[in-house]
């Protein structure tokens, strides 16, 4: 993939939790400058109002699968903050890491 203006590399910005409002504010700026970003999401919180008790993001709408797919086609990256945003230990690692990655 070539970068805008023939640049050989670009900075990227990662947005925690993948709130849908990125489409209104951040994504247009990324498009304007030709630089993709990155979102890190909780696998069980795609396309729904965020519900991770204690989180300051709670209630904010999270990007849908279709919106994520659209960003991916523009070069955006997607990474995983686990299945439920819980701390990870040997008892839940398979669910929080392996299963969550499959979902995203």
Q: Which is nearer to Zn ion, 27 or 42 (CB)?
A: 42
Which parts of 1-104 fold into alpha helices (H)?
Answer: 26-33, 65-73, 93, 100-103
Between 66 and 85, how does the x/- string for binding to Zn ion read (CB under 5 A)?
A: ---------------x----
Q: Which is nearer to Zn ion, 57 or 70 (CB)?
A: 57
Q: Which is nearer to Zn ion, 58 or 69 (CB)?
A: 58
How many residues lie near Zn ion (CB under 5 A)?
A: 1
Alpha-carbon distances, residue 84 vs 35, 95, 97 (angstroms): 29, 9, 10
Using CB under 5 A as the criterion, which residues of the chain lie in contact with Zn ion when the complex forms?
81
């Amino acid at each position: 993939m070539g970068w805008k203006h023939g640049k050989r590399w670009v900075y990227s910005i990662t947005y925690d939790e993948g709130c849908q409002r990125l489409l209104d504010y951040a994504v247009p700026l990324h498009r304007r400058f030709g630089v993709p970003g990155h979102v890190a999401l909780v696998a069980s919180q795609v396309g729904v109002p965020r519900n991770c008790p204690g989180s300051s993001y709670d209630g904010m709408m999270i990007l849908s699968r279709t919106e994520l797919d659209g960003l991916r086609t523009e070069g955006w990256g997607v990474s995983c903050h686990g299945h439920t945003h819980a701390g990870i230990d040997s008892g839940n690692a398979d669910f929080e890491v392996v299963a969550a990655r499959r979902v995203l």
